[in-house]
Amino acid sequence: MKKNVTKILAMAMAATMMVGCSSEKPQETTADNQKTSANIAENTTDGNVTKEAVKENTDVAAEGAYTIGIGQFAEHGSLDNCREGFLKGLAEEGIIEGQNLTILYENAQTDGGTSSQIMANFLAKDVDMICAIATPIAQSAYSATRDAKIPVIYTAVTDPVLAELAGADGTPVGEITGTSDKLPVEEQLEMIRTLLPDAKTIGILYSTSEINSASTIEEYKAAAPRYGFEIVESGISGTADIPLAADNLLEKVDCLNNLTDNTVVSVLPMILDKAAKKNIPVFGSEIEQVKIGCLATMGLDYVSLGAQTGRMAAQVLKGEKKASEMKFEVITEASFYGNTKVAENLGLTIPKELSDAAVELFDEIITE
């Protein structure tokens, strides 16, 4: 909880002026403000506020107020939805932005160095908690806060164990916990096979610096033969590599499958445009990717994931649990989302077995 000394000093000056020179009826105040004014009056000498008054009344004014620094690794719909859901989950627990919650938000734009700078900034501002959205910035948050005693709640971290944010049993490595967006690999492959019965090869673009992407690809490579697929991968080191890598990969595969790789997702519209020109389907990993042009996904609802994270954060802020006492949580149910407009453009029809089970089907492609 933050202590607003300036506000207290101003209240003290006002109280002194009222005692010394005003005969008018004072304005109505809240119970806390009445207590604050009384305490200040008791601790005021010759118009000067004592340190004891400042400390005591700062605690009163700040009771129940929190400041959270939200660091997001990249700017795209999936992570934006996580942030939206996080605030929703907090609000469900009575912690509401603009009322008893101040949010400091910064975006790293997929840059690791910027992630570290963001965390240093949050520490300098003495936030009550850090929310880290996506693996790279969650790792930066943990590195920055190990000695600062500031709890970290993460979301959209595919494999917290591989990212060294949790032990093999899910136990946090420190005052850090959160939610995982681990992909349902088997369900995704089964869905692709249903939509593309003749396809043989699936292409996957990924950032070599995102450890979660590398581990997910290994899962795909292990499971793909059971569905009659071969995985063709292409690693990139940054967004500048993606146009050429996408062109080369599209020459070798029957479809693309997009992961939750933040570097790749940040330029997904460009990849979708290239694939559409070659009439090659692209499968997503969550709902926002389907909205903007992926054919379908057996994926996650990131607003729900964020809300789950927000509820965990509320427990920590309220002192009900420490982050170190809470194992990371996972959304286990994958849902089908499809885009009938994309299917139409590709000359495909979404099978009834999938459309009937869909959480939502979109009939347009949303472009910004």
pLDDT in tens, 201-232: 999 999 998 888 988 999 999 999 999 999 99
How far is 148 from 155, CA to CA, in rounded Å?
20
CATH 3.40.50.2300 residue ranges in the chain?
Answer: 66-181+302-330, 185-299+334-362
Contact present, 307 and 56 (Cβ < 8 Å): no
How far is 338 from 202, CA to CA, in rounded Å?
18
Which of 32-36, 74-78, 245-249, 307-311 shows the lowest mean pLDDT across its residues? Answer: 32-36
pLDDT of residue 300: 84
The rounded percent of the chain whose pLDDT value lies above 70 is 82
Q: What is the mean pLDDT of residues 253-266?
A: 94
Contact present, 176 and 323 (Cβ < 8 Å): yes
Residue entry with tokens 């949050």: 122
- For the segment 277-294, what is each residue's pLDDT rounded down to a tens digit? 999 999 999 999 999 999
Q: What is the mean pLDDT of residues 54-66?
A: 47
Q: What is the mean pLDDT of residues 248-276?
A: 95
Which of 28-32, 159-163, 278-282 shows the lowest mean pLDDT across its residues? Answer: 28-32
pLDDT of residue 210: 86
Top-tier CATH class for 66-181+302-330: alpha beta
Residue 353 has pLDDT above 70, yes or no: yes
* Pairwise pLDDT comparison (28 vs 235), residue with the higher score: 235
- For the segment 114-142, what is each residue's pLDDT rounded down to a tens digit? 999 999 999 999 999 999 999 999 999 99
AA letter at 117: Q
* Pairwise pLDDT comparison (31 vs 315), residue with the higher score: 315
Residue 37 has pLDDT above 70, yes or no: no
Average pLDDT, the chain: 85
pTM of the model: 0.74
**Rounded CA Rg of the chain:** 25
Pick the CATH number of 185-299+334-362 from 3.30.470.10, 3.40.50.2300, 3.50.30.40, 2.40.50.60: 3.40.50.2300
pLDDT of residue 368: 66
Strand order in the sheet with 230-236: 230-236, 201-207, 255-257, 282-283
Band of residue 328 on the pLDDT scale cut at 50, 70, 90 = very high
AA letter at 103: I
How far is 141 from 152, CA to CA, in rounded Å?
7
Band of residue 77 on the pLDDT scale cut at 50, 70, 90 = confident
pLDDT of residue 10: 40
How far is 355 from 98, CA to CA, in rounded Å?
41
How far is 252 from 281, CA to CA, in rounded Å?
13
How far is 113 from 288, CA to CA, in rounded Å?
27
b/e burial code for range 306-335 (CB count within 10 A of at least 16 → b): bbbbbbbbbbbbeeeeebeebebbebeebb
Cα 26 from chain centre: 46
Residue 11 has pLDDT above 70, yes or no: no
Contact present, 74 and 109 (Cβ < 8 Å): yes
